[in-house]
Structure 1
Amino acid sequence: MDLSPEAPKQTAKEIAAEYRAKIADPDNEDYSPGKRLPAARQLAKKLGVQLMTVQSAYSQLRDEGLVLTQQGRGTFVRDPSAPLGTEPGSSPAYAALAGELSSIHDALRLLGERLDRLEEIVSSETPPSR
């Protein structure tokens, strides 16, 4: 990457897209689950961008459920097999969503059970049609 002063700087969106692609690449072992992303401060210096730009890129990845941020430790690639919102450092939005989805799942299960009981009642009371 050209880091000359007149070269255009990467945006947070572009940085997030670059790391999203690295994380999605199954052949890139540097970004497999549990691996640490470069420290935001070091990456900002390397790319010649503001620290806030890298932090925003990492925040986008966290909000998408791709990475976890652990205060004082860094940003890590999230294990996609773990339920969203359950790991320390996951997005608060995902934690709230996981709770809502669990409630919806329970409500649907109860509605299914009620429907089964109603169908049994209706089928036992209705004479077969000819």
Structure 2
Amino acid sequence: MEQSPEAPKHTPTAKEIAAEFRKKITSKKPEYEPGGQLPAARTLAKERGVQLMTVQSAYGQLRDEGLVLTQQGRGTFVRDPSVPLGTEPGSSPAYSALAQELSTIHDALRVLGERLDRLEQLVGSEIPPSP
């Protein structure tokens, strides 16, 4: 039984593809800048010899980490880190929900701060009791 001269080709997992693109996005000299488009999932799947779902899963991991945005019918793009998470179209639903919750908490803290300021003014304006 002869072995073929070619070694079997390694088929990357979604985790490996995500790690590769994470490095290409977050390195000191990134291959993909904010706003840059990642390869189409179908194209990348063919190039790597993997199922489309594998690439979609890899891109999903990157989206869940807040590194990319997926826009239906347009593609997957590197997220601009200067824009608050969850506020752009195509961001992870988890980040969108978190952004909304944080906004609610921020508003509540602002109201509580204002109430505390008013209480401190009232207490500070009272005349201290005489001995």
Tell me what 1:17 maps to.
Answer: 19
User: How far apart, CA to CA, are the structure 2 residues paired with 1:94 and 1:64?
Assistant: 9
**Partners of 1:26 and 1:83 in 2: how far apart?**
21
Cα distance, 1:16 vs structure 2: 0.9
Aligned twin of 1:53: 54
Q: Which runs of 5+ in 2 are unaligned?
A: 1-5
* 1:124 Cα offset (Å): 2.7
The letter of the residue matching 1:125 is E
SS of 1:58's equivalent in the other structure is helix
| 2:97 is the alignment partner of 1:96 | yes
Secondary structure of 1:27's counterpart equals: coil
Give the distance between the partners of 2:73 and 2:124, measured in 1 at CA: 62
TM-score, structure 2 length as denominator?
Answer: 0.84
Q: Which structure would you say has the larger Rg?
A: 2
1:64 aligns to what?
Answer: 65
Aligned pair count reads 126
Preserved contact between residue 26 and residue 32 of structure 1 (Cα < 8 Å)? no
**Deviation of the 1:65 alpha carbon:** 1.3
Contact 1:12 1:56 in 2 (8 A): yes
Q: Identify unmatched segments of 5+ residues in structure 1.
A: none
Aligned to 2:29: 27
C-alpha deviation, 1:120, in angstroms: 1.9
Same amino acid, percent of matched pairs: 74
CA contact 1:69–1:89 (8 Å) conserved in 2: yes
RMSD of aligned alpha carbons: 2.2
